[in-house]
Chain A
Amino acid sequence: MAPDVTARRWLSAAARWETGLAVLLLLIVVLGAAASPQFLTTSNLFNLLVTSGEVAIMALPMTLIIISGEIDLSVASILGMSSALLGYLWSIHWPMLAIFAVLVLLGAVAGLVNGLLVTRLGLPSLAVTIGTLALYRGIALMILGPKTISNFPAPYNTIGVIAVPHTDIPWSMAIFVVLAVISGVVLHATATGRSLYAMGASPEAALFSGIRVKRIKTILFVVSGVVCSLAGVLWTFRLATAVQNNGLGLELNVVAVVLLAGVSIFGGKGSIGGVVLAVLAFAGLANALLLTNFNQEATGIVFGAVLLISVFAPNAGALWARLGRLRKHQRPVRPARQ
Chain B
Amino acid sequence: MTPAAAPVLSLRHAAKSFGAVQAVADGSLELSAGEVHALVGENGAGKSTLVKMLAGLHRPDAGELLVDGKPVALPSPAAAQAAGIAVIYQEPTLFPDLTVAENIFMGRQPLLPGRRIDRRLMRAQSAALFGRLGVPLDPGRICRGLSIADQQLAEIAKALSRDARVIVMDEPTAALSAAEVARLFEVVRTLRAAGAAVLFISHRLEEVFEICQRVTVMRDGRQVLSSELAGLTADDLVRAMVGRQMPERTAGERSEPGELVLRVERLTREGVFTGISLAVRAGEIVALAGLVGSGRTEVARAVFGIDRYDAGTVAVSGRQLRKASPSAAMAAGVGYVPADRRQQGLVMDMSVQQNVALASLAGLRRAGLVRSAAERAFAADWAQRLRLKYGRLTDPVSLLSGGNQQKVVLAKWLGRRPALLIVDEPTRGIDIATKAEVHQLLVQLAQQGVAILMISSELPEVLHIGDRILVMREGRLTAEYSHREASEEKIMAAATGQLAVQAP
Contact = CB atoms under 8 A, between A and B. Distances in A.
B107 A329 contact: yes
A11 interface: yes
Interface stretch (B273-281, B357-365, B468-476): B357-365
B125 A201 contact: no
B108 A332 contact: yes
Interface stretch (B30-38, B258-266, B347-355): B347-355
A25 interface: no
A19 B177 CA distance: 51
Interface stretch (B52-60, B202-210, B313-321): B52-60
B327 A212 contact: yes
Interface stretch (B290-298, B337-345, B459-467, B479-487): B337-345
A2 B51 CA distance: 12
A205 B345 contact: yes
A329 B107 CA distance: 5
B55 to A, nearest CB: 10
B125 A194 contact: no
B300 to A, nearest CB: 11
Contacts of A206: 347
Interface residues of A, number: 35
A299 interface: no
A7, A202, A328: residue with the most chain B Cβ atoms closer than 10 Å? A202
Given A205-B343, A338-B161, A4 B348 contact: no
A268 B347 CA distance: 10
Contacts of B19: 8
B369 A189 contact: yes
Dominant secondary structure of chain B at its interface with chain A: mixed
B343 A204 contact: yes
B349 A201 contact: yes
Nearest to B357: A194
A335 B128 CA distance: 14
Nearest to B396: A7
Contact of A189 (B326, B329, B336, B370): B370
A2 B57 contact: yes
A301 interface: no
Contacts of B18: 4
A202 B362 CA distance: 20
B186 interface: no
Contact of A332 (B107, B306, B330, B396): B107
Interface string B130-141: 000000000000
A338 B128 CA distance: 10
A101 interface: no
B247 interface: no
A328 B82 CA distance: 15
B362 A191 contact: yes
Nearest to B104: A335
Contacts of A269: 349
A333 interface: yes
Contact of B348 (A201, A329, A333): A201
A198 interface: yes
B399 A4 contact: yes
B330 A208 contact: no
B24 to A, nearest CB: 12
A194 B110 CA distance: 50
Contacts of B185: none
A338 B125 contact: yes
A43 interface: no
B368 interface: yes
B347 A334 contact: no
29 contacts: A3-B398, A4-B18, A4-B58, A11-B396, A190-B370, A191-B362, A191-B365, A195-B361, A197-B350, A198-B358, A201-B348, A201-B349, A202-B349, A205-B345, A205-B346, A205-B348, A207-B326, A209-B412, A210-B359, A211-B327, A332-B108, A332-B109, A332-B115, A334-B108, A334-B110, A334-B111, A336-B163, A338-B125, A338-B128
Interface of A: 2-4, 7-8, 11, 185, 189-191, 194-195, 197-198, 201-202, 204-212, 268-269, 328-329, 332-336, 338
